[in-house]
A and B are shown apart, each in its own frame.
Chain A
Amino acid sequence: MTTANPSLARSFHANWRQYIIYIGFAVIFVVFALTLTDKGFLNPNNLLNIVRQTAMIAVMAVAMTFVLSAGEIDLSVGAVAGLATVTVAMAIAVAGPVAGVAAGIATGLAVGMFNGWLTTRIGIPSFLTTLAMMGIAKGVAMWVSNTAAVPILSPGYSWLFGGGALIGVPVLLFWMLLFGAIGHVVLRRTGFGRRVLATGGGEMAARYSGIDTKAIKFRVLVLSSTAAAFAGMLYAGRLQSGRFQLGEGDELSVIAAAVLGGTSLFGGKGTIIGTIVGALMIGMINNGLILMGLEFSQQLIARGAIIILAVALSQKRS
């Protein structure tokens, strides 16, 4: 094949870094499959577990891909997810599951609009806006819940947003695929997606071309917070409760998933499929490290090292 089509080989040679996420995913999968078979890595139930643990990260990472592509960042996603678990659980306790869903979405919209307003109108960089919001969201979640877990006693909600399964496939997988598919089409195929990429790829050229780059940045930040709140709804459903600690520290995994998947931290370049595979890869690494019997401290070190290695390999050297 390579001899028959030298130009294809050359193009692969020049672009292999672009595909590093897929190569890395395959390599790690094979390594785990070979070394952890007796520990049950390939067991279908274990593989579905990876999906269950990855879904929330993946949902947030899809939106984060838009944020990064527009040249911004959102560090508040983990805390917003935690806040949403609390508001959802409290609303369900008072007014039922429909109100719970509405409360979750409203939480995301409110935080996102505030982030967007501060970033685009007041002019505070999104790095700072969302770093501050991380603390505010967590504080509000602790305050309204008195730092206690709020139980969710609605089986229907818990089935749809967490524990349920259709013909043996967890609903979380469906949510992940739904977000991934919509995100992919919106980023690739809609005018909004193009404007997001243009804003991050060259803000001035985008502005000169008649694109309202502030409005684009506002929208991606709203999108991100809303997706984070949705991820919070999934956490709440899966664990049948709202707790402020849920989602804590997820912002790192979410950003890592997007960057591993080939999205540029500097904007202008992003792929949702890469992001989903990146999220699955992080979930798979976590799972494999647990199966290996590593202690939590060792897991943290190993996970950090693997992510640094993968990102370093995916960077184009100039």
Chain B
Amino acid sequence: MGARGEMIVQAAGGAPGAEDLPLAVSMTGISKSFGGVRALDNVSLKIRRGEVHALLGGNGAGKSTILKVLNGVHRPDAGTIAVCGTELRDVTPEAARAAGIAMNFQELSLIPTLTVAQNVFLTREAKGGLGLIDDRVAERQAAELFAMLDVDVDPRALVGDLGSGQKQLTEIAKAISQDARVLVLDEPSTALAVSDVDRLFVFLRKLKARGVAIIYVSHRMDEIARISDRATILRDGRHVITAPLSDLPIDTMIEHIVGKRSKGLSDVARAAVHRGEALLELRNVSGRHKPQDITLTVHRGEVVGLAGLLGSGRSSLARVIAGIDPVRAGEIRINGKAVAIGKPADAIAAGIALVPEARATQGIIPAHSVASNMVLAVLDRMTRAGLIKGADVKSVADAQIQRLAIKTASRDHAVSTLSGGNQQKVVIGKWLATDPDLLVLDEPTAGIDIGSKSEIIRLVRDLAAAGKGIVFISSELSELLTACDRILVLSEARLFADLPREAFDDPAIPADDTAHRLQAAEQRLQIEIQEALKQGQKV
């Protein structure tokens, strides 16, 4: 403990002399490809000691890839990594940890049934006489550590009894006690209440003063403006800019993040909407915690997008509509008639289908065949006199395989053998087989290749044209803007904006300059999301 304290105090020389010391992190010329796709192209990332450095970029910009290179999960194709002046060769997760890099504070490293002190010193327990563990020593050491770091957590409390904010502070304190010199915080505020965010920031400033370098990843621009000293922005796997926050007002940041569209989805045609009668109506609907007091209408022939950050309540809303989470208040109407949706089967009977966000657990049964997965929601239609008709199963499976151009060796192959994009198509096929009126898609393009992405968006447009109603959730703004006729913005479980797609268009940009138009629209949507975030936190 003593030596560790000295190390931290020594490094705490603070900002003035910091330039003389080697950089906390120096990644130079990092490139990384996955099967021919360039995820990182000659990217450099320099983090000083004692700074909070924001890492920004849209989905697929390369943020998580470069962080995984830093902590040894991915091996770079080219480039060098140095931590506090020492070059790391053959970075493995163990080597990165030994060099003082700590990340992934999502409460995963804490054991809820042990106390805070037991958790902090897990595998490094203080031994008393006879070589037995002495918890009181650990509690005293934890109390000293917390006092030094100004963390207000009781070392004797069970971790399971702590709130999210306290858990996070405990986890970070644990990392610091293990000599962490670089902290990577990936969306640390998502699960936190506003007051907990304030407490986290006080704590981070304390760590800064001790010379710890902090890499802060977030989509919440106002938070970034509050806590960061400098920022690095990535786009399409390339380094765009590294600058002090004083040179990066929020709209400039958004401009750099969105950038010029090189490849894109702008080629998906959006035919004029033939908005039919109201299909789904929610009146003041609330779930258990999320969503809160949602009123909205989805018409036939319409694609309605749900925009918002992680934790804004988009997926909860989808689950409530699909009968997976209970409705606690309000009314759901389908085709003008109030329906009681108490379980998934009720929603299916009402013509609702949900393509859920977690494909591997909620969408497919990985070890079962494509055909078995495809008929799972329509089993009752496949049976005659209680027996499953093999011919019916085949024809349903083959029809969807053909319609969605699913690449599989055969309908009898396990879904787990398919690529991510094709697995997702199996999930979509399973739901199209129910012939739903309303299709809710929750992040349908997450983790799939660009080809499948455009196919899915085209499919969504076709389904709307055929008179279905679609609710489309995505974190990729360009995708929302290409697929949707109307975009709703959620924040803190509530609905804050309901805007037609045209509202995002800039009339000053000529209609044929599609790339430029989409870029401008994306900036406007980003601003709407940040605005909703501010309003949401006030409520």
Contacts and interface: CB of A to CB of B under 8 A. Distances in A.
A71 to B, nearest CB: 11
Contact of A206 (B347, B376, B386): B376
Contacts of A201: 365-368
A303 interface: no
B261 to A, nearest CB: 34
B388 A189 contact: yes
Contact of A202 (B343, B366, B375): B366
A268 B367 contact: yes
Interface stretch (A18-26, A130-138, A151-159, A190-198): A190-198
B10 interface: no
Nearest to B346: A210
A165 interface: no
A195 B388 CA distance: 12
A210 B361 contact: no
B161 interface: no
B354 A208 contact: yes
Interface string B363-379: 11111100010011101
A80 B379 CA distance: 33
B380 A191 contact: yes
A150 B228 CA distance: 82
Given A191-B388, A194-B388, A208 B383 contact: no
Contacts of B367: 201, 268-269
Contacts of B379: 191, 194-195
Nearest to A211: B376
Contact of B361 (A189, A204, A269): A204
Interface string A187-227: 00111011101100110111111111000000000000000
Nearest to B385: A190
Contacts of B382: 191
A210 B344 contact: yes
Contacts of B362: 204-205, 208
Nearest to B343: A212
Interface string B97-138: 000000000000000000000000000000000000000000
B300 to A, nearest CB: 23
Contact of A208 (B344, B366, B368, B388): B344
A206 to B, nearest CB: 7
B361 A202 contact: yes
Contacts of A211: 344-345, 376
A205 B383 contact: no
A206 B366 CA distance: 12
Nearest to A197: B368
Interface residues of B, number: 30
A185 B383 CA distance: 13
A217 to B, nearest CB: 15
Nearest to A188: B388
B92 to A, nearest CB: 21
A201 B386 CA distance: 22
Interface string B338-366: 00000111011000001010100111111
Interface in A100-135: none
Most buried by B among A191, A202, A209, A268: A209
A204 B360 CA distance: 10
B324 interface: yes
A137 to B, nearest CB: 31
B387 interface: yes
Interface in A162-203: 185, 189-191, 193-195, 197-198, 201-202
A314 to B, nearest CB: 15
B430 interface: yes
B388 A190 contact: yes
A193 B345 CA distance: 18
A207 B344 contact: yes
A191 B376 contact: no
B386 A190 contact: yes
Nearest to B349: A210
A171 to B, nearest CB: 27
Contacts of A208: 322, 324, 344, 354, 356, 362-363
Nearest to B323: A210
Contacts of A205: 361-365, 376
A31 B376 CA distance: 45
Nearest to A186: B386
Nearest to B355: A208
Contacts of B358: 204
Contacts of A191: 379-380, 382-383, 386, 388
Given A189-B388, A207-B324, A210-B377, A194 B372 contact: yes
B89 to A, nearest CB: 30
A212 B362 CA distance: 14
Contact of A190 (B345, B361, B387, B430): B387
A201 B360 CA distance: 11
Nearest to B389: A189
B348 to A, nearest CB: 5
Interface in A261-275: 268-269
Contacts of B348: 210
A164 to B, nearest CB: 31
Contact of B376 (A190, A209, A269): A209
Nearest to A208: B362
A190 B383 CA distance: 7
Nearest to A268: B367
A202 B380 CA distance: 19
A198 B368 CA distance: 8
B400 to A, nearest CB: 14
Most buried by B among A185, A195, A210: A210
B323 to A, nearest CB: 8
Interface string A80-98: 0000000000000000000
A304 to B, nearest CB: 29
Interface string B304-323: 00000000000000000010
A202 B365 contact: yes
Contacts of A207: 324, 344
A201 B373 CA distance: 11
Contacts of A204: 358, 361-362
A202 B364 contact: yes
Contacts of B365: 198, 201-202, 205-206, 268
Contacts of A269: 367
Nearest to A199: B365
A208 B358 CA distance: 11
Interface in A42-95: none
A75 B57 CA distance: 54
A194 B386 CA distance: 12
Interface in B375-423: 375-377, 379-380, 382-383, 386-388
26 contacts: A190-B386, A190-B387, A191-B383, A191-B386, A193-B388, A194-B372, A194-B375, A195-B379, A197-B372, A201-B367, A201-B368, A202-B364, A202-B366, A204-B361, A205-B361, A205-B376, A208-B363, A209-B344, A210-B343, A210-B344, A210-B347, A211-B344, A211-B345, A268-B367, A268-B368, A269-B367
Give the 10 A-B residue pairs with the shortest CB-CB distance, closest first: A202-B365, A201-B365, A210-B345, A209-B376, A191-B379, A210-B344, A209-B377, A210-B348, A191-B383, A204-B361
Given A210-B348, A268-B367, A269-B367, 7 more contacts: A189-B387, A189-B388, A197-B368, A198-B368, A201-B367, A209-B376, A212-B345
